[in-house]
Chain A
């Protein structure tokens, strides 16, 4: 197993507040890591540093061997990133937006339309391909963001709350998509939905107050006879249940 994502003592401070405190872990090909934690625990900040959006205060991360601080463009090429809230340009059409993302990633002509078509097919967006994104529902918008992250078939996917705002059927679709892609990628998804971890993840990392408190397969967490929810609550509220 080769580690496609290596997070090495990553730390982020905002003034005197430490949002992410000395976080280290790595993710190998074939792994789907569920990144859990209460709001404000540092999930999004960790993902933003991994995606090269924020500079770490200390430590670093590597994506497919490329350091996100020293070789940001190389690291970003290997990465598909869905930012929190799946931001997109509202005035663009779905096909226009994906075409823009594809051109930035260097695809042209037939290759570009093939990839845009494939990404729309995987996220069931063909029906709305020419609609302006601002007219779409929340679930569609999220899938547009997801399609953008999948477009270039990256070896590493970092998805910040990919199923937030989707209805149960759409959640199911996205989870099957993640499971289907899992064997040849390293994937990190953050989520608040604990059942999702059991459904798609091979490993759960729970983070609280900027620190990793648990790093284990979901089955191990549940073995002690408690539900994942109990484990999560006891670990993140600081007191043993």
Chain B
């Protein structure tokens, strides 16, 4: 499993994907934080402007990481090689997920200049900032697990990307006022469920510095569920 994760991580850095991802992520995160987020003028030493954009950046960037995970293996035929090596299938699923997650961790860690900046300019609550980063990792993990499961469905990377963006968007927007007010007006039973499944809503707690067990359990089960689906999809669609 660790061997697979290492290979996958190396594969990101062997292609331009890793560098493009990291550069775009850092540029966008920085630009949005300083312009739309009013990082300087709001007069508060915290990273909330940055954190508020992360789930939306990940919405597009994480599917770019997951689209190749299984679709590429299918296209190259290497899925046949990988799944005939003496490992259990879930080890391959988990290994790929961990590699992508570690990659997101690296990208997030590279936003450290923002953290240095707020610490230089003021005295932020670093506990809250840490909680925010934990929340970012949770959101990344949730999108990654979802995207990986979708990638297992196809051998076309573009299809995997587009469907994954749409699917992530559903879970990101599920708690937004537009969706919940529409649902409470028309299907009140679904409104609560929709809010409960919202990745963005859960993330808000982390940015306020609250790491609650309920939210951690939500993200853990969300990730676990989609990894399970990923494994199931592979069982049923080995080759085509």
Binding site for B on A (CB under 8 A): 48, 51-55, 72-74, 76-77, 79, 81, 83-85, 87-92, 96, 100-101, 103-105, 145, 148
Are B14 and A92 in touch, CB under 8 angstroms? Answer: yes
Q: Does B85 sit at the interface, judged by CB under 8 A? A: yes
Residues of chain A within 8 A of B235, CB atoms compared: 55
Report the bound CA distance from A54 to B80 in whole Å. 9
With contacts A87-B80, A90-B76 known, what are 16 further pairs, Cβ within 8 A? A48-B80, A51-B84, A54-B239, A73-B87, A73-B88, A79-B84, A83-B77, A83-B84, A85-B77, A88-B78, A89-B11, A89-B78, A91-B14, A92-B10, A92-B14, A100-B7
Can you list 25 pairs linking A and B with CB atoms under 8 Å apart?
A: A48-B80, A48-B239, A53-B84, A53-B239, A54-B238, A54-B239, A73-B87, A74-B86, A76-B85, A83-B77, A83-B84, A85-B77, A87-B76, A87-B78, A87-B80, A88-B78, A89-B7, A92-B7, A92-B10, A92-B14, A96-B10, A101-B85, A103-B3, A104-B86, A105-B85
Annotate B45-87 by CB proximity to A: 1 below 8 A, 0 otherwise: 0000000000000000000000000000000111011011111
* Chain A residues within 8 Å of B3, by CB: 100, 103-104
Bound CA–CA A38/B14 (angstroms): 39
Pair count A-B, CB < 8 A: 68
Asked whether, in the complex, the Cβ of A83 is within 8 Å of the Cβ of B80, the reply is yes
| CB of B15 closer than 8 Å to a CB of A | yes
Q: How far is the CB of B238 from chain A (nearest CB, A)?
A: 5
Query: Which residue from B10, B15, B81 sits with its C-beta under 8 Å from A87?
Result: B81
Per-residue A-contact encoding for B200-240, CB less than 8 Å = 1, 0 else: 00000000000000000000000000000000000100110
The 8 tightest CB contacts between A and B, nearest first, are: A87-B77, A76-B86, A83-B80, A91-B14, A77-B86, A51-B84, A87-B78, A103-B3
Residues of A within 8 A of B88 (CB): 72-73
Which B residues lie within 8 Å of A89 (CB)? 7, 11, 76, 78
* Residues of chain A with a CB closer than 8 A to B239's CB: 48, 53-54
Chain B residues contacting A145 (CB-CB under 8 Å) are 81
Range of interface residues on B (Cβ < 8 Å):
20 to 34
Inside 8 A of A96's CB, which chain B residues have their CB?
A: 10
The CA-CA distance from A223 to B100 in the complex, in Å, is 59
Q: How far is the CA of A32 from the CA of B87 in the complex (A)?
A: 27
Q: Do A104 and B87 contact each other (CB < 8 Å), given the known contacts A91-B15, A92-B14?
A: yes
CA of A3 to CA of B77, assembled, Å: 30
When chains A and B are docked, how far (Å) is the Cα of A96 from the Cα of B14? 12
**Given A54-B238, A89-B11, A104-B81 contact (CB < 8 Å):** no
Report the separation of the CA atoms of residues A87 and B78 in the bound assembly, to the nearest whole angstrom.
5
Chain B residues positioned under 8 Å from A83 (CB to CB): 77, 80-81, 84
Nearest CB in chain B to that of A132: its residue: B14
- Return B122 CB to nearest CB of chain A, in Å: 44
CB distance from B194 to the nearest CB of A (A): 37
Given A53-B80, A53-B238, check contact A91 B11 (CB 8 Å).
yes
Contact of B98 with A by CB under 8 A: no
> From residue B91, how far is it (CB to closest CB) to chain A in Å?
9
Contacts of A76 in B (CB 8 A): 84-86
Using Cβ atoms and an 8 Å threshold, which residues of chain A touch B15?
Answer: 91
CB neighbours (8 Å) of A54 from chain B are: 238-239
- Report the minimal beta-carbon distance from B232 to chain A, rounded to whole angstroms: 13
Q: Most B CB atoms within 10 A — which of A51, A79, A87, A145?
A: A87
